[in-house]
A and B are shown apart, each in its own frame.
Chain A
């Protein structure tokens, strides 16, 4: 695609439910990142994929959060037993994986847990 696509753009879920957030990176980009951003804060790193594997998942806050990228393209961020504190904008970005390259961001998914 022309850019990074994230779906849905908005998601409202009840506390305790399971949610999946999808990211379609730019075609051919090998690196993919997930970030979480709360109001008035900068993007907080969650996980980074190089190809199919998670190269760095040190930002995942706890074991309720999990992400996959089975074919090295589309990625899904999965959140189990959602809590109100999970409410935020979840941002996805991709790069071509080379050194010193810019990241292209999607428009994000605004998750609201009620």
Chain B
């Protein structure tokens, strides 16, 4: 089962530009997490935001959470070619992490 839905499905930008990805979900959550995946194999955790938080920063990443709209956004500032990857949101409602379908980001130099 998949709860989160990322938007857009694919995003192409130039190096130095900002990339924004959105995630919508359906049920109440304890926290929401963003992951990155290169080459279709292991996922790497990027950032976690709790349900009582509205915004969180980590380096070039900024995550927002709006529990009333059941949505989150991930902003990557000053993108680099190395940011090219698939990005997934994952919701934690107390048991398993449920992932969305992801946004494929392509950053060209």
Please list the residues of chain A having a beta carbon within 8 angstroms of any beta carbon in chain B.
Answer: 4, 33, 35, 37, 39, 41-45, 48, 55-56, 58-59, 89, 91, 93, 99-108
Contact = CB atoms under 8 A, between A and B. Distances in A.
B48 to A, nearest CB: 6
Interface in B29-72: 30-31, 33, 35, 40-45, 48, 50
Given A42-B102, A43-B43, A89-B40, A103 B2 contact: no
B1 to A, nearest CB: 6
B101 interface: yes
B97 interface: yes
25 contacts: A33-B96, A33-B97, A35-B99, A37-B40, A41-B102, A42-B88, A44-B2, A45-B97, A45-B99, A48-B95, A48-B96, A55-B95, A56-B96, A58-B1, A89-B40, A91-B43, A100-B30, A103-B33, A103-B43, A105-B35, A105-B42, A105-B44, A106-B42, A107-B41, A108-B41
B83 interface: no
Given A33-B97, A91-B42, 5 more contacts: A42-B2, A43-B88, A105-B35, A106-B42, A107-B41
Contacts of B97: 33, 45, 93, 103
Contact of B92 (A56, A100, A106, A107): A100
Interface in B87-109: 88, 90, 92, 95-102
Contacts, number: 65
Q: In the A-B complex, list the 9 residue pairs whose CB atoms are closest, starting with the nearest.
A: A102-B45, A42-B99, A48-B96, A105-B42, A107-B42, A105-B43, A42-B101, A43-B99, A56-B95
A103 B31 CA distance: 13
Contacts of A103: 33, 43, 45, 90, 97
A69 B37 CA distance: 26
A106 B1 CA distance: 21
Contacts of B95: 48, 55-56
Contacts of B96: 33, 45, 48, 56, 59
